[in-house]
Structure 1
């Protein structure tokens, strides 16, 4: 299932990661782990934030992906199901098939 992983990094921990040169490593390791189709990095609500869109093949991946972000960056992490245009069109076409689910 395609998901959006959003990670907000604690400012002080983020500062430590940057000063130590470890922030780039953490980002690279996470990218290598999830192979996102898109990755964006921005300030949000005054915190360094990463948005990664990727295919979560199995829920058992969540601890493997998330724990390093918690440990190194004291990050607040959320996962949200996400669709691309093809997914939306496929879903909408199923609505037009006459089966309204009722």
Structure 2
């Protein structure tokens, strides 16, 4: 299943995690494990944010992916199943 994940990182924790390199480590762990087909980084509500699109068939893997962002970055996370245009058109 293709998933759309958005991660929102609080400013204070984000600042500290840049200095101690834990943000880079958390992002790299997630990217190595989930192998997202797309990754975008931006600001949302004045906070660091990221969007990832990736495939995952095992729901329990989401716990692994989320925990690095929760425990290391105090992040808020939203995960939504998503379709690309071709997949949507097949069902319309």
In which range does the TM-score fall when normalised by the shorter chain? Answer: over 0.9
Paired residues in the alignment total 92
Map Cα deviations across residues 29-65 of structure 1 (whole Å, 9 max, x no partner): 1111111110000001111111000112111111111
23-32 or 33-42: bigger deviation:
23-32
Aligned to 2:48: 48
Aligned to 2:25: 25
SS at 2:50's partner residue? strand
Partners in 1 of 2:17 and 2:68 — Cα distance? 12
CA RMSD between the two structures? 0.9
4+ residue runs over 2 A deviation: none
TM-score (norm 1): 0.85
Aligned to 1:38: 38
Q: Which has the larger radius of gyration?
A: 1
Aligned to 1:67: 67
Aligned to 1:97: none
Which structure 1 residue ranges, 5 or more long, are not aligned?
A: 93-102
SS at 2:59's partner residue? coil
Which structure 2 residue ranges, 5 or more long, are not aligned?
A: none
